[in-house]
Amino acid sequence: MSLLDASGLNEEQFLQQYNPGDFPRPSVAADIVIFTIADVEGDNFRKLPGKELRVLLVRRGGHPYIGQWALPGGFMRPGETVGEAANRELVEETGVNGGYLEQLYTFSAPGRDPRAWIISCAHMALIDSGQINVHAGSDAADAQWFVVKTENAGGYIELSLSGKDASLHATAALQNGDTDIQITKNVGLAFDHAKIILYAVNRLRAKLEYTDLVFRLVPERFTLTALQLVFEAILGRTLYKAAFRRKIVDLVQETECYTSDKGHRPAKIYVKKMKEEGGQNERTNTGEF
């Protein structure tokens, strides 16, 4: 480029003399809603373990929101994308590298952090419970998994998070035109993290229906019933078996293996179907860039 600007500078000269000035800049945090699916062991040897959706939270050891629970997160650093910052935190907290990570939304309300001007670029991570290794190198000694449940009742959404040591609860009101929500009650969650978690649950549920994100939450080999239980745990409602199987049959690939020693009829083991060269793959596009 040899184009000159109004001062007669070419691009190289311009960049050399460029001064970013001293306008105020916010800190940018990458917060992550880390989801996993966990088994609920029953006492009946014949029953399959139930599944539940869990989110990882960290107990705050200092002000503000001391003693309350927050999403894992950290500040973005020069030379990395905000997604890389999120991944760094994900690895620190869970030991999982290469897990699924997706940017959700950037929360920037003034005052959302009482300490300083900090905006949060929220992310969602999905990891298979088999590879979880919480506390791997984490400085957050108080990281815990919380079971996620929501209830929808008359313009309000109730979010319940149940952990080993604590039960958290938030209520959100749907606002004008359902395009906005506002937290009206909040017990135990730090910052605006209740809002972020609700946003993430919403996104996860929506994408479950039109992408193949489920496979980020289950082991490589699974039965169709296990897969259905994962759907049900996330969506919070039961599905019809026949309809469910019709729907996902073209996303999975059967193997020759079966379960055994379960006290009931063995189930065929499936794996995720790999993309064919010439085939149509409508459900793989996640819409993210």
Which residues of this chain interact with DNA, rule CB under 7 A? 44-48, 223-225, 239-243, 245-247, 258-268
Site for a second copy in 194-253 (CB under 8 A): 195, 198-199, 202-203, 206
Site map for a second copy, 116-135, x if CB under 8 A? xx-x-x--------------
- Please report how close the Cβ of residue 263 comes to a second copy at its closest, in angstroms: 38
- Please report how close the Cβ of residue 89 comes to a second copy at its closest, in angstroms: 15
Residue 83 interacting with a second copy (CB under 8 A): yes
* Alpha-carbon gap, residue 143 to 130, rounded angstroms: 17
Residue 155 interacting with a second copy (CB under 8 A): no
Site map for a second copy, 38-77, x if CB under 8 A? -----------------------xxxx-xx-------xxx
* Alpha-carbon gap, residue 183 to 99, rounded angstroms: 30
The DSSP element (H or E) to which 143 belongs, if any, is strand 143-153
Task: List the single partner that 239 binds among a second copy, DNA, none, CB under 5 to 8 Å by kind.
Answer: DNA
* 67-71: long-range contacts, CB 8 A cutoff, minimum separation 24: 68/188, 68/189, 68/190, 69/144, 69/146, 69/161, 69/163, 69/166, 69/168, 69/188, 69/189, 69/190, 69/193, 70/189, 70/190, 70/191, 70/193, 71/31, 71/32, 71/33, 71/122, 71/193, 71/196, 71/197
Q: Is 68 within 8 Å of 114 (Cβ atoms)?
A: no
Task: List the single partner that 130 binds among DNA, a second copy, none, CB under 5 to 8 Å by kind.
Answer: none
Site for a second copy in 4-23 (CB under 8 A): 5-6, 9-11, 14-15, 18, 20, 23
**Encoding tokens for residue 115?**
């300490």
Task: List the single partner that 45 binds among a second copy, DNA, none, CB under 5 to 8 Å by kind.
Answer: DNA
Residue 106 interacting with a second copy (CB under 8 A): yes
- Please report how close the Cβ of residue 145 comes to a second copy at its closest, in angstroms: 24
* Alpha-carbon gap, residue 211 to 40, rounded angstroms: 26
Residue 173 interacting with a second copy (CB under 8 A): no
> What per-residue string of b and e applies to 91-130 under the rule 16 or more CB within 10 Å gives b?
bbbbbbeebbbbbbeebeeeeebeeeebbbbbbbbbbbee
DSSP secondary structure letters along 15-32: HHH---TT----EEEEEE
Q: Which of 44, 46, 79, 237 binds a second copy (CB under 8 A)?
A: 79
Task: Give the footprint of a second copy on this chain (CB under 8 A).
Answer: 1, 3, 5-6, 9-11, 14-15, 18, 20, 23-28, 61-64, 66-67, 75-83, 103, 105-106, 108-110, 114-117, 119, 121, 177-181, 195, 198-199, 202-203, 206, 281, 284-289
